[in-house]
Amino acid sequence: MSKKPTSLRRRVTLVMLAIVAVAVLVTGAITVPLTRTSTVQGEQGRLSAQADLLASLDRLPTRLTAANALINGTRFAVVESPPNGRATGAANSYVTAEVRAALDARGTYSGTIQGTLGRALVEARATTAGPWIVSVLPITQLDTALNKETQRVLLGLLVGLLVAGIAALSLAQWLTKPLTETAHAARKLAAGERGVALPAPASQEAAELTSALSSLDKALATSEGRQREFLLSISHEMRTPLAAVRGYAEALSDGMIAEDELPQVGQTLVRETERLDAFVRDLLELARLQADDFTIHAVPLDLGALLDHVRTAWSARAASLQVALSVNGTTPTPVVADPQRLRQVVDGLVENALRATPAGGRVNVTARPAGRSYMVDVSDTGPGLAPEDLDVAFDRGALHAKYRQTRPVGTGLGLSIAARLVARMGGTLTAANGASGAIFTVNLPTG
């Protein structure tokens, strides 16, 4: 059992949420440490300003050396007799040799030291009064402030993630709505409805999809219209021989046909039956061409010999119609085709040309090389085709429906069958107008 595919809306939403989540995680990973560093630097600056202020006093407050001296979380130590004097105060453990050396050399020290109060920020100054003052702010005193800043950052990122999620849902709905509506329209087309209203495109890609679906709608309507006209036409054409056969059959059944008329009636029945057989044969051939198991046996063949057989087969028919038939061309290079099917195609084109050519006219069958292929032209001196006919010449029933009232026509399937056969053999069949009639050209590969 196949798994149901995930909707595009869900995929877009999940992808956008994943991107936003990654962005939030990266931002948090960068922002939280930066925020903590910024907070520590801010406290270091405050501690430095405080130490500078104390150092500028003429006399240090005596309470700074008390064990419980505490100002804004800062503890102090005082060195009364620098540089080697004893340090007094709650922060005396932070008066290290490094601090003494810096104060003795530069009169100032700024850094971080590990002491009895834990790791702490240290700012030390040599005062104008003579003693050294050391201000110490334990890092643990900053934890509350750092945690608050971290919480603010994380809350902001969480709100951003929530807003981004809502935006992702809205954007996914906006992006997929035209596709959903287009799919609904496509289902209507599949159900047989035509002229379906399509949604207004929201993007270039959606516009292309809508345009393609609109073109498909028009093409289906045109194709179905042609099929409908063809079925009506062929139904009308088949009813004529059926009516003749039935009429003569009823007359024979009722004994209304004289004995001397029986041969003529028999010939009429045979002729009308052949017409019906032609219709049925062409319909079956067309159905077979559309089947997947239809096979072509393409082999190298002598096109010149095949055309000689065509000349022999159609010369008598051309003479009876008072039409000159000319077959020319030799092919030193074999063409690759199915001999039976190629003969069927050429015979059909010659038959159409003879039917369209008036008495005294001419039908030419010519083979000629064209690069890596060979062309077989079948031209006539009939009325030719209108320019708009060239695009639909191989659509089944198109020319039949147009010309059946004005000129002799076949079943309306021959050209469609011929085009499909040539395509199955790897070639092409095209229609054009010559100087005085139509030209149908079969293009076959050589090998």
**Domains of the chain by residue range:** 10-146, 204-289, 299-445
CA–CA distance, 233 with 276 (Å, rounded to integer): 14
340 Cβ contact list (under 8 Å, min separation 6): 297
Q: Which residues pair with 132 in a beta bridge?
A: 79, 126
Our CA dihedral for 337, 343, 347, 353, rounded to 10 degrees, sits at: 30
Secondary structure class of 198 (helix, strand, coil): coil
User: Given strand 373-380, what is the order of strands in its sheet?
Assistant: 324-328, 362-370, 373-380, 437-445, 428-434
pLDDT, residue 209, reads: 74
pLDDT, residue 1, reads: 45
CA–CA distance, 227 with 192 (Å, rounded to integer): 14
User: Tokens 């096979």 belong to which residue?
Assistant: 295
Q: Are 113 and 135 in contact (CB under 8 A)?
A: no
Our CA dihedral for 176, 182, 183, 187, rounded to 10 degrees, sits at: 160
Q: Which overall architecture, per CATH, does domain 10-146 show? A: 2-Layer Sandwich (3.30)
Q: Are 385 and 393 in contact (CB under 8 A)?
A: yes
Spans of the chain below 70 pLDDT: 1-9, 65, 67, 175-176, 199, 201-203, 205-206, 226-237, 240, 278-279, 282-283, 285-294, 330-331, 397, 400-401, 403, 405-412, 447
pLDDT, residue 289, reads: 64
Q: Are 221 and 256 in contact (CB under 8 A)?
A: no
Nearest alpha carbon to residue 79 among 45, 118, 109:
109
CA–CA distance, 390 with 345 (Å, rounded to integer): 18
Q: Which residues pair with 337 in a beta bridge?
A: 299
How many CB atoms are closer than 10 A to CB 246? 12
Q: What letter would DSSP give residue 64?
A: G
* Class of the domain covering 299-445: alpha beta
Work out the angle at residue 94's Cα, subtended by the Cα atoms of residues 90 and 95, and round it to the nearest 5 degrees: 100
> Which amino acid does the sequence have at 108?
T
Strands 437-445 and 87-88, sheet pairing: unpaired
> At how many degrees (to 10) do helices 8-55 and 143-190 cross?
160
CA–CA distance, 293 with 316 (Å, rounded to integer): 37
Q: Are 367 and 331 in contact (CB under 8 A)?
A: yes
CA–CA distance, 42 with 344 (Å, rounded to integer): 95
> At how many degrees (to 10) do helices 414-424 and 339-356 cross?
150
Q: Which overall architecture, per CATH, does domain 204-289 show? A: Orthogonal Bundle (1.10)
